[in-house]
Amino acid sequence: MPSSIDLPVDPPARLLMGPGPVNADPRVLRALSTPLVGQYDPAMTGYMTETMALYREVFATSNEATVLVDGTSRAGIEAAIVSLVRPGQRVLVPVFGRFGHLLAEIALRAQADVHTIEVPWGQVFTPAAIEEAIVRVKPHLLAIVQGDTSTTMNQPLDELGAICERHGVLLYTDATASLGGNAFEMDAWGLDAATAGLQKCLSGPSGSAPISLSERAVEVIRSRTRIEAGIREESDEDTGEPIASNYFDLGMILDYWGPRRLNHHTEATSMLYAARECARVIVAEGRQAVIDRHARAGAAMLAGVQGLGLTVFGDVAHKMNNVVAVEIPAGVDGDGARGAMLRDFGIEIGTSFGPLHGRVWRIGTMGVNARFDTVLTTLAALEQVLRRAGVRVPAGGGVDAAYESWG
């Protein structure tokens, strides 16, 4: 009998109801298996141009500079920060969970002068608190997570653009966990840069990071752009002082996606196909309809876990639609219960990081899994796992509450 390593991948069936990655939409899986074309094939450059247009709809923007960074969502974050910030420039990061720490760390490594403000995990910032810090720190860039899955919180961004405009600050947000499942208005909110990933509400695999940049952000980047020595022509200028990364030099990436088509990396064709299809299925359903579906599924899951008698973590009024954190009941082995969900029911739910590790479970309803059947199935299974772990749960309390919420 051949060992597993001699065979193609054949993973077990899983319903991924954690904080992401979640199941990919079957249409995205089909797109992934599409045959390749060359990187300058008219079909390929056409798909790149279509992908830019599709993500403008997803980000709700008219930004010409809307492309993919070839890597996971944190590749998009690092590309944004390293391209927008010069060493020594001040960056302000409001931290309300793990991914705020990540933005700060990436900015520190980019040799920025990083300042943070914090609220306890489970809360968000008021616009006033952020403006106060801006006045005090006078940053070049405000870098803030929209939805931090580590706490499930959804930071309101709608007033931050005007605040940053007032103080001459660039505004970047990491929308990895929130985009597609929660309100997001790149242009209306006055954002200069936003990045995401495919593996949350966009129903794709991790490995491609959509990014959109305002004209102001592009100007900042262009002031630092250069052309690679191996393809530079004599007429090309070298503006000196390069961005510290070649791979994440957004000026080069824009020159590759733009009309000059200057060779940089070789675009990750299969992931481009996937990213295009992720956006296409959202645009086909309707951007607002997808957000509404996430709101409805998230509300049903919230009602359901409360109906099971579980305590929800954090400020529920500011929770993302697509994930809820519940406190692990006293006396229950959290990882054991998650293991039973996975092993016996084929359903994955998550734990968390740092101060919440082992204290909460995180349950997602995102992307193609933001559906009523997935909510009911997860609640039914969780009820059984809790009961067998010795927790007194109201029989059918989760499922009934979800039915009532869904309407």
Binding residues for a second copy restricted to 342-361, rule: CB under 8 A: 342, 348, 353-354
Q: Residue 280's Cα: distance from chain center in Å? A: 17
Give the shortest CB-29-to-a second copy separation in angstroms.
Answer: 5
Are 50 and 42 in contact by the 8 Å Cβ rule? The answer is: no
Residues 229-248 that bind a second copy (CB under 8 A): 229-232, 242-248
Q: Pick between residue 89 and residue 245 the one whose CB is nearest to a second copy.
A: 245
Out of 14, 86, 90, 222, point to the residue binding a second copy (CB under 8 A). Answer: 14
Both structure tokens of 370: 């933001």
- Count of residues in contact with a second copy, rule CB under 8 A: 95
DSSP state of 313: P
Q: Measured from the CB atom, is 196 or 303 closer to a second copy?
A: 196
For residue 35, the minimal CB distance to a second copy (Å) is 6
Cβ count near 205 (within 10 Å): 21
Judged by CB under 8 A, the stretch of 38-46, 178-186, 289-297, 373-381 that binds a second copy is 38-46
Task: Label the pairing between strands 113-118 and 153-154.
Answer: unpaired
Rg (the chain; Cα; Å) = 22
Q: Which two tokens stand for residue 372?
A: 């009523």
> Minimum Å distance from CB 228 to a second copy?
6
Contact with a second copy (CB under 8 A): which of 122, 147, 180, 207? 207
CB of 332 to a second copy, least distance (A): 19
Nearer to a second copy, 46 or 394 (CB): 46
Told to check if 6 binds a second copy by CB under 8 A, we report: yes
State in angstroms the smallest separation of the CB of 112 from a second copy: 12
If residue 135 lies in a helix (H) or strand (E), which one and from where to where?
Answer: helix 127-137
Residue 268 burial (10 A CB sphere; 0-12, 13-18, 19+): middle
- Of these, 61, 83, 146, 150, which contacts a second copy (CB under 8 A)? 150
Question: Please, which residue, 141 or 299, has the CB nearer to a second copy?
Answer: 141
Please, which of residues 355-394 interact with a second copy by CB under 8 A? none
Considering only residues 291 through 310, tell me which ones interact with a second copy, judged by CB under 8 A: none
Q: Can you tell me the distance from the alpha carbon of 211 to that of 266, in angstroms, rounded to the nearest whole number?
A: 18
Q: Measure the CA–CA gap between 176 and 78, rounded to whole angstroms.
A: 13
For residue 331, state whether it binds a second copy (rule: CB under 8 A): no
Sign of the alpha-carbon torsion through 53, 55, 61, 67: negative
Stretch that binds a second copy, among 20-28, 127-135, 291-299, 312-320 (CB under 8 A): 20-28
Tell me how far, at minimum, the Cβ of 205 lies from a second copy, in Å. Answer: 4
Residues 254-283 that bind a second copy (CB under 8 A): 263-271, 273-274, 276-277, 280
Indicate the pairing of strand 360-364 with strand 323-327: antiparallel
User: CB 281 → a second copy: shortest distance, Å?
Assistant: 10
Token pair, residue 402, equals 């979800």
Residues 6 or more apart whose CB falls under 8 angstroms from that of 310 comprise 326, 327, 329
Task: Restricting to residues 40-79, name those near a second copy by CB under 8 A.
Answer: 41, 43-44, 46-47, 50, 53-54, 70-75, 78
Nearest residue to 402 via CA among 297, 312, 292, 294: 297
Match 């939805």 to its residue by tokens.
147
Length of the chain: 407
Are the C-beta atoms of residues 362 and 324 closer than 8 Å to each other?
Answer: yes
Q: Please list every residue from 81 through 140 that binds a second copy, using CB under 8 A.
A: 82, 97-102, 104-106, 108-111
Closer by beta carbon to a second copy, 144 or else 393: 144
Q: How far is the CB of 370 from a second copy (least distance, A)?
A: 16
